[in-house]
């Protein structure tokens, strides 16, 4: 059953928590979000181990906050390892520091006190009913732990928008699995089976939103510190995927989630029935997508498949121009 999507403009800013494992594309996503205060009210950034270890993803999230000039946004560190499996990192793509192409330093402002998981529990259990959106740009460990600790937090969540999975597109960490799902498939299952309203932006769509020389030149033409950093990060980050897939440009996966939240009309998808494979072996972390939904079986996630790629890069360059 092909459907949708509503492209309705947001009236009041969306109350948003960004859960992330920066990560090159996570940093681009964070800068895009921080430059979009009219649409997004970022309540907090929560970090998780993923692309690199937790201390580095937490440092990189604070660096992004510093670069975005949004020191009022708290950054909470979360899970240092997946629910059950051994940690898996993506240093081959994001570099040893998790942020290729730019120099990293210890940011002036530290982490917020307390753990990301407890922050999620406290915030979501006291929030107005279905009022807070979560953008999950890495493994879903933090939200899974919060749901296990306090299932009633579901009431506070409006929607969870995930970067993850692959169906038509092959996997990027195994032949069939996308990194964020492979890094903690058990966590993804906890979130999926909670019944929370879920939207996935899988590789199927993020591999359609590719950089090109012209798009990198468009970003460079903004010519402020933020855009220069983004171009330096992307030039270093996209190499691996361009070589691997023989593509003319590289994906900026996590930025697509933020672009979707700011301007959903740039994207389209449909309701599908999703299962996450957790069997040990070759298929661990694979997302199994059944497109044949019906009124009786309406599906459990919205699966985004198409995007106006140039529209996403126009949005990114316009918003970066608002930063220093």
Interface residues toward Ca ion, by CB under 5 A: 21, 23, 26, 137-138, 254
Residue 23 binds ligand BDR (CB under 6 A): yes
What are the backbone dihedrals phi and psi of residue 319, each rounded to the nearest 5 degrees, phi first? -75, -40
204 contact choice in Ca ion, ligand BDR, none (CB below 5 to 8 Å, kind-dependent): none
Site string for ligand BDR, 259-298 (x = CB under 6 A): ----------------------------------------
Sheet holding 301-307, edge to edge: 75-77, 40-47, 14-20, 132-136, 157-163, 198-201, 301-307, 267-276, 287-290
Cβ proximity to ligand BDR: between 250 and 299 the closer is: 250
| Dihedral over Cα of 89, 95, 96, 99: its sign | negative
Cβ proximity to Ca ion: between 254 and 305 the closer is: 254
What are the backbone dihedrals phi and psi of residue 286, each rounded to the nearest 5 degrees, phi first? -70, 140
Cβ of residue 27: shortest distance to ligand BDR, in angstroms?
A: 9
Q: Are 60 and 104 in contact (CB under 8 A)?
A: yes
Active site residue 167: no
Q: Which of the ranges 20-28, 110-118, 122-130, 216-224 carries the binding residues for ligand BDR, by CB under 6 A?
A: 20-28
Among 163, 262, 301, 307, binds ligand BDR (CB under 6 A): 163
Smallest CA-to-CA distance from 67 within 108, 101, 96, 122 is with 108
CA distance 256 to 163: 8
Cβ of residue 319: shortest distance to ligand BDR, in angstroms?
A: 19
Which residues does the annotation mark as catalytic?
A: 253
């Amino acid at each position: 059953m092909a459907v949708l999507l509503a492209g309705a403009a947001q009236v009041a800013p969306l109350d948003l928590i960004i859960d992330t494992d920066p990560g090159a594309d996570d940093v681009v996503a964070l800068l895009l979000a921080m430059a979009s205060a009219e649409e997004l009210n970022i309540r907090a950034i929560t970090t998780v181990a993923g692309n690199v270890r937790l201390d580095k993803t937490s440092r990189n999230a604070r660096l992004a906050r510093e670069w975005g000039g949004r020191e009022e946004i708290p950054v909470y560190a979360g899970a240092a390892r997946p629910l059950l499996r051994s940690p898996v990192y993506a240093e081959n793509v994001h570099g040893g520091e998790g942020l290729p192409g730019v120099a990293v330093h210890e940011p002036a402002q530290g982490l917020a006190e307390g753990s990301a998981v407890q922050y999620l529990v406290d915030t979501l259990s006291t929030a107005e009913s279905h009022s807070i959106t979560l953008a999950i740009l890495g493994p879903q460990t933090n939200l899974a732990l919060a749901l296990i600790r306090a299932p009633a937090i579901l009431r506070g969540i409006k929607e969870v928008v995930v970067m993850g999975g692959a169906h038509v597109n092959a996997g990027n960490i195994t032949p069939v699995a996308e990194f964020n799902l492979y890094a903690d498939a058990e966590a993804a299952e906890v979130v999926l089976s909670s019944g929370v309203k879920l939207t996935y932006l899988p590789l199927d769509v993020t591999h359609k939103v590719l950089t090109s020389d012209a798009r990198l030149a468009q970003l460079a033409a903004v010519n402020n510190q933020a855009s220069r950093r983004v171009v330096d990060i992307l030039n270093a980050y996209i190499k691996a995927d361009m070589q691997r897939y023989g593509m003319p440009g590289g994906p900026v996966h996590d930025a697509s989630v933020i672009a979707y939240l700011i301007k959903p009309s740039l994207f389209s998808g449909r309701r599908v029935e999703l299962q996450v494979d957790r069997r040990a072996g070759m298929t661990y972390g694979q997302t199994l997508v059944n497109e044949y939904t019906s009124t009786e079986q309406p599906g459990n996630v919205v699966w985004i498949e198409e995007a106006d790629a140039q529209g996403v890069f126009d949005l990114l360059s316009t918003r970066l121009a608002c930063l220093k």
